[in-house]
Amino acid sequence: EPEVTQTPSHQVTQMGQEVILRCVPISNHLYFYWYRQILGQKVEFLVSFYNNEISEKSEIFDDQFSVERPDGSNFTLKIRSTKLEDSAMYFCASRPRGLPTDTQYFGPGTRLTVL
């Protein structure tokens, strides 16, 4: 069964460094998402991406964050200058279309640790 994949599974970085989290959504899906979950807290929406542009973003998704779909398969989240509070599990998700019946499929996540 097709699945969303994410790399790396765990990323450790120093505060102020740039990180890129990578995702390969399910191949025929059209909507892509990033969420994050700080330890012990709710899963929070960051950004949605459709038709090669951001369709919605949360207030968390400030100028330090960017997303890109550089080719037909990868979907990336870049954090330009990481802060301690960016430490979290980051989940990528994809969805086939925009119908009420569409399930979102999540990847296994990337655990980001900022030191």
Partner 1 sequence: KQEVTQIPAALSVPEGENLVLNCSFTDSAIYNLQWFRQDPGKGLTSLLLIQSSQREQTSGRLNASLDKSSGRSTLYIAASQPGDSATYLCAGVYNQGGKLIFGQGTELSVKP
Question: Quick one: tokens of 68?
Answer: 């890109």
Estimate to the nearest angstrom the gap between the alpha carbon of 114 and the chain centroid: 17
Kind and range of the H or E run holding 33: strand 31-37
Per-residue CA distances from 42 to 36, 45, 46, 67, 69 (Å): 8, 10, 12, 22, 26
Minimum CB distance to partner 1 smaller for 14 or for 53: 53
104 binds partner 1 (CB under 8 A): yes
Query: Is the sign of the CA dihedral 96, 101, 107, 110 positive or negative?
Result: positive
Nearer to partner 1, 66 or 104 (CB): 104
- Region binding partner 1 by CB under 8 A among candidate stretches 15-23, 60-68, 77-85, 102-110: 102-110
The residue from 67, 109, 112, 114 that contacts partner 1 (CB under 8 A) is 109
Region from 16-24, 33-41, 66-74, 77-85 binding partner 1, contact rule CB under 8 A: 33-41
Contacts (CB under 8 A) with partner 1, residues 38-97:
41-45, 48, 50, 55-56, 91, 93, 95
Does 107 bind partner 1 (CB under 8 A)? Our answer is: yes
DSSP conformation class of 93: E
